[in-house]
Chains A and B, each alone.
Chain A
Amino acid sequence: MDGVLSVLLDVFRQPAIIVALISLVGLLLQRKAFSDVLKGTVRTLVGFLVLAAGAGVVVGALDPFGAMFQQAFDVQGVVPNNEAIVGQVLLDYGSAAALIFFFGFIVNVLLAATTTYKYIYLSGHVAFYMAAMIAVILGVAGFPVWGVVLWGSLLQGLVTTLSPAIVQPFMRKVTGSDDVALGHTGGAGIALSGLVATLTRSTKKPSRSTEDITFPKGLGFLRDTTVIVALSMAVIYVVVALFAGSAYIESELSDGQNYIVYVVMQAATFSAGVFIILAGVRVVLAEIVPAFKGISERLVKNAIPALDVPITFTFAPNAVLIGFLASFVGGIVGMSVMIFAGTAIIIPGVVAHFMTGAASGVIGNAVGGRRGAVLGAFANGVAITFLPLFLLPVLGDIGLSNSTFSDADYGVVGVLFGQISLAGGQTAVIVSILVSLVLVYVSSLVIRSRRNAAAAAASAAGSAATDGDVDASREDATSSAR
């Protein structure tokens, strides 16, 4: 009996198997044919192992970077990159992360079905990364595995429901409708951009839209993740290598190989690792996300899909580039402050500044024109530079690695719950999660009753409508919103 139990435990300790089982459930729920179910399940299992292999490549390329940075500046240097850090996290916290990802989606659907926050978070990759970070935070807080999964799933559901909600007031200005929301872990930074753009907006002299500018083309290569990661890492590696010195690198790290050749190859290897991890993530999600989409469409009336940041890009292509540049400048300003303050140094991660900075630019432009785009994206850039710095100490051993989570939501959620755990232990974490749940329902009730009051006032003012007409018009409203 003990033998069977220990075999079962060994099976469930394998994150690849957990992820494959989730995929299996998803495929069965979609009533796929047997061959598709078998194919999808095995592909997910292998996809996860591809992801883990990529993590090894990334770590191999980051280790010499950490050593060089330490040698050159005598502090920890951190490159925020979601794929790089998640690869490492999943080696230790993979099973819990996979379960939080799965049950967190169910909590998201339940919250969407029962509150006014109708957002279904369909950006599977960043949801998966968020689940990984929550697994770390709760693991470091000392919860047993079942506790990590239970409270983690509730927290994950809350985050994935609320992150689109705080961006939506600004998203409406971008898309001109309420049909689609933004589901990305940069949500807090992007909402901050909208807020900054609102505060700095001038009614007397409104700033013109970014789209009136004719902008030079040729920055299109920024959209190719593999190229931009390799190029930006090469620049960073070479700068750090120059400070660390050829003698140190050639004697300690490169085994005699020319130090510039060595670091450029390491930078390219880092990009190769990210490429492998992304390929793994793509395979893992290919079977799971369609199931999520199907389930949510069936269970949630008037569901609003929350999608990845590129959905904003076509609305204001100029704001995309302006937003990236402003956000990146914010990152460099933040890094300069850290150099003078003598803390660990967060090097601006180009991918994060591009994705969330661009979305911040589009949102900022929709709210406050050029000025809004520049200031909003700059605020996002500063935020995603300082948030990771405060995130490092609450991540335990993971915080000692040379990479970390890059977007604003990881910082906000991680720092908040990490500090709550440090201050009040597990009880405080549980209480905070439960209080947040209650607040979501209370705020939902308030919003709903306000909407009903507004609707009632409107129909009363309209004409001497009979009860039947009011019901009919309300039905029209819901069906057109769908």
Chain B
Amino acid sequence: MKFLAVCSSGLGSSFMVHMNIEKVLKELGVTGVDVDHADLGSVGPDSADVVFVGADLADSVGGLGDVVVLDSIIDKEELRTKVRETAVRKGITVPAGDAS
């Protein structure tokens, strides 16, 4: 299973979201998920199982398969909720899923 954070340059904000996703997964006790970040130009439908983007890029990621749109990429609570939902949707065991 692979989660991929994407922004236009693949340097700053996608990297931040990438690190925050890893943090959330760790807090939720989820294992076995690869997290990475990339730029918009180099992702394809096969790049990852789930792609995370900010709302400003939502129009540019059609055709990338399973896309999760973040309304605010600095909102940790939103990220936590959406990562948990995604993990559940993908059939991954979430040990701390009901806690938060």
Residues of chain A having any CB pair with chain B under 8 Å: 122-126, 175, 179-180, 184, 217, 220-221, 223-227, 275, 278, 281-282, 285-286, 289-290, 293, 305, 307-311, 313-315, 317, 320
Contact = CB atoms under 8 A, between A and B. Distances in A.
7 contacts: A124-B15, A223-B57, A290-B19, A310-B8, A313-B54, A314-B55, A317-B56
A124 B11 CA distance: 8
B9 A225 contact: yes
Given A314-B55, A315-B72, 19 more contacts: A124-B12, A180-B74, A220-B57, A220-B60, A223-B40, A223-B57, A225-B8, A225-B39, A225-B41, A278-B11, A282-B10, A307-B12, A307-B13, A307-B16, A308-B16, A309-B12, A310-B12, A311-B16, A313-B54
Contacts, number: 88
A23 to B, nearest CB: 15
Nearest to B23: A293
Given A125-B12, A175-B74, A217-B59, A310 B39 contact: no
B71 interface: yes
A481 to B, nearest CB: 15
B7 interface: yes
Interface in B10-41: 10-13, 15-16, 19, 39-41
A179 B73 CA distance: 13
Nearest to B22: A290
A314 B90 CA distance: 27
SS class, residues of chain B in contact with chain A: mixed
Nearest to A177: B74
B60 A221 contact: yes
Report the interface size class on chain B.
Answer: 20 to 34
Given A220-B60, A221-B60, A278 B10 contact: yes
Interface of B: 7-13, 15-16, 19, 39-41, 54-57, 59-60, 70-74
B56 A125 contact: no
Contact of A314 (B10, B12, B19, B56): B56
- Of all A-B residue pairs in the complex, the 5 with the closest CB atoms, nearest first, are A308-B12, A226-B41, A310-B13, A223-B8, A313-B56
A263 B13 CA distance: 33
A296 to B, nearest CB: 12
A314 B54 contact: yes
Residue in A126, A224, A281 whose Cβ sees the most chain B Cβ within 10 Å: A224
Nearest to A175: B74
A223 B15 contact: no
Contact of A223 (B11, B60, B73): B60
A123 B9 CA distance: 12
A146 B49 CA distance: 48
B10 A317 contact: no
A148 B12 CA distance: 27
Contacts of A278: 9-11, 39
Nearest to B56: A313
Given A125-B12, A223-B40, A179 B74 contact: yes
A226 B42 CA distance: 9
Contact of A311 (B9, B39, B59, B74): B74
Nearest to A294: B19
B56 A310 contact: yes
Contacts of B73: 310-311, 314
A269 to B, nearest CB: 16
Contacts of B70: 314
Residue in B7, B15, B19, B54 whose Cβ sees the most chain A Cβ within 10 Å: B15
Given A220-B59, A311-B74, A123 B8 contact: no
A282 B9 CA distance: 9
B11 A308 contact: yes
A219 B15 CA distance: 24
Nearest to B9: A225
Nearest to A126: B12
Contacts of A315: 72
Nearest to A305: B16
Nearest to A218: B59
B79 to A, nearest CB: 13
Contacts of B59: 217, 220
Nearest to A289: B15
B15 A285 contact: yes
A388 B71 CA distance: 35
B3 to A, nearest CB: 15
A126 B11 CA distance: 9
B74 A293 contact: no
Contacts of B41: 224-227, 275
Contacts of A314: 54-56, 70-73
B14 to A, nearest CB: 8
Contacts of A289: 15, 19
Contacts of A180: 74
A311 B11 contact: no
B16 A122 contact: yes
B77 to A, nearest CB: 12
